[in-house]
Structure 1
């Protein structure tokens, strides 16, 4: 009889604790937080969290989103600021479709870049270096784009998230971008890819086609003019003038 494979040990799903139960001096704010964030606290999975004194930053997976409006984002970024002396707190929250976008949102609200890494045991890991590179770029440059549309499909046969972005710099090449995350359920990994478009109509049409299984390959993002050296110009740094220091 062949030996049986050992049953993989899954990490218990951690619970999130916002630590605001005793900060209820502002009843209206407490109620607002409960309605927008904490009313299903036991269904929020902390993919990443960082605590810095009275401030806390969370990337949360919302397990209730699958039962809500079809296509809605399943991630929630939350920034909490507590004032224990006054027994109050303030908060910001943003539903977002991709973990890297949630990380970027928190970083641009004061979270340290190196403190909000995702828990590698929760969620499918990146399948390749192209995915990791694009995720790093989204984390670093997420504030360069505005999100115009997203749709998350958690069908086990085709787990995909499409996001249409607009560059805030009107001079940017390929001013409209589409980012696509696909989960390979058998291997339990995910890939992330990006395409560039000249119009919002073309970007949204591609998203619609992908969700119906009719999309063509993503068009490449055009490089910026600054990234293309003029013909005949060497890609070397000019020597520093003698006698000068930085």
Structure 2
């Protein structure tokens, strides 16, 4: 485990059996912290996103990104400990935000990890982080060798068409970057068939198909009338600085 991660639980006991088990899992891992937020240095809550290097030696394809929430009750000298695993950082961040972590405190990751290759990757990751309970995760797969990718299969409660969504993250060690793309499918079988075959492009979500033209229109308006006249459409949003995925270390770097 990374020696920089200390939840200061020495004088506290687990509040329930679930917390005791989660803490044991935590200490058994090989964690590298990617993002963390603590209410105070020894305060009531801690939120952490970390890469668990020990997963690479377990069952192939298992998610490697840990999301951890710790809540301390100093009046009772107890703590609760929650630990879940996700295929990529954005879904781990979403889980923590839904459990009370301020989004701006957990949205950026550190360390020598891959960076987003383009604006679309940044926007899709923000979309996941801020989605609340919109996406129900059905399945996931992680590969950190060849191909260097993860995918998360979800059901989108906000979609009126093609509600099965695949979020595909692909890493490129040569450029030290990664891309995230969203695919839309009518049902789970169609998504699984595409993931197994890959002979056709990832089907673009219906709501994104007109997006490039809309962006070009907004850019033209900005050039002709100034930035204050730019329409504020639903896709014209501010994004946080890029974050990198936890499961993509620099070549040759051990975690």
TM interval, shorter chain, is 0.7 to 0.9
Which ranges in structure 2 are unaligned for 5 or more consecutive residues?
212-230, 233-255
CA contact (8 A) 2:125 2:180 kept: yes
1:193 pairs, out of 181, 186, 201, with 181
CA contact (8 A) 2:15 2:80 kept: no
Question: Does the Cα contact within 8 Å between 2:23 and 2:81 map onto a contact in 1?
Answer: no
What is the aligned residue count?
Answer: 207
Match of 2:196 among 208, 219, 225: 208
Match of 1:93 in 2: 83
Structure 1: give runs of 5+ residues left out of the alignment: 1-12, 228-235, 238-246
SS state at 1:177 partner: strand
Q: 1:46 aligns with which of 9, 33, 42?
A: 33
1:34 CA displacement: 3.1
Name 1:232's counterpart in structure 2. Answer: none
Q: 2:150 aligns to what?
A: 161
Within 5 A, what are the aligned runs for 1:95-114? 95-114=85-104
Runs of 4+ with deviation above 3 angstroms:
25-31
* Structure 2 residue 6 is the aligned partner of structure 1 residue 22: no
CA drift of 1:137 comes to 0.6
RMSD: 2.2
1:66-98, CA deviations, whole angstroms, 9 ceiling, x for partnerless residues?
111000000011111001221110122211111
CA distance in 1, matches of 2:18, 2:128: 32
Q: Is the 8 A contact 1:101 1:142 kept in 2?
A: no
Q: Give me the TM-score of the superposition, normalised by structure 1.
A: 0.77
Question: Cα gap change, 1:221/1:27 in structure 2, threshold over 3 Å: closer, same or farther?
Answer: closer
Secondary structure in structure 2 of the residue aligned to 1:223: helix
Contact 1:174 1:197 in 2 (8 A): yes
Q: Provide TM-score, normalisation by structure 2.
A: 0.75
Q: Does 1:71 align with 2:61?
A: yes
Structure with the bigger RCO (C-alpha within 8 Å, sep 6+) is 2
Cα distance between partner residues in 2 of 1:81 and 1:57:
9
Name the structure 2 match of 1:173.
Answer: 161
Partner of 1:217: 201
